[in-house]
Amino acid sequence: MASEFAIGLVAFGDPAGLGAWEIGHYRQHLRYNAFLAAMTPPAVLTEFPILRLVGSVGAEIVFWLDAHEKWHELIRPFANVTGVNLSGFDIENREIFYQWLDLHNAEHQEIDQAFGLS
């Protein structure tokens, strides 16, 4: 099944686009968890609250970034990928948002490939 996560289709300052991205992104993380849970033996990962980015500001964004990073930290060893700490970015800044997005997208592509979910 092809991913419904459209990693490149989000623009800074577009809440509707970010909402669509956020839902697909969350569902992709759920696919990772389902893939890992189907392994023998199963690997059961925690789900983190990463469906609250739209409309968030300040500390709410920091919380989202931290929760999201924790989920990536659990997934990375199973996919045999490394990544940067995705929580250390000020994504309220347009330029940094796109830097973060590029790094994040690259990591998701590596995970998708490792799990055969692309």
pLDDT per residue as tens digits for the range 62-117: 999 999 999 999 999 999 999 999 999 999 999 999 999 999 999 999 999 999 99
Name the residue among 63, 62, 75 with its Cα closest to residue 28: 75
- The model's pLDDT over 39-63, given as tens digits with 9 standing for 90+, comes to 999 999 999 999 988 888 999 999 9
Rounded distance, CA 20 to CA 61, Å? 17
Give me the pLDDT at residue 10, please. Answer: 87
Burial label, 65 (beta-carbon count in 10 A; 0-12, 13-18, 19+): buried
Q: Which residue carries 């893939």 as its tokens?
A: 35
Could you state, in order of their start, the residue ranges of all structural domains in the chain? Answer: 15-115
Alpha helices in 1-118 (DSSP H): 15-37, 59-79, 94-115
The answer to whether 65 touches 89, Cβ cutoff 8 Å, is yes
Q: Which token pair is 71?
A: 């989920």
Q: Which token pair is 47?
A: 């789900």
Rounded distance, CA 3 to CA 24, Å? 8
Instruction: Please tell me whether the overall predicted TM-score, pTM, comes out greater than 0.75 for this model.
Output: yes
Rounded distance, CA 1 to CA 30, Å? 14
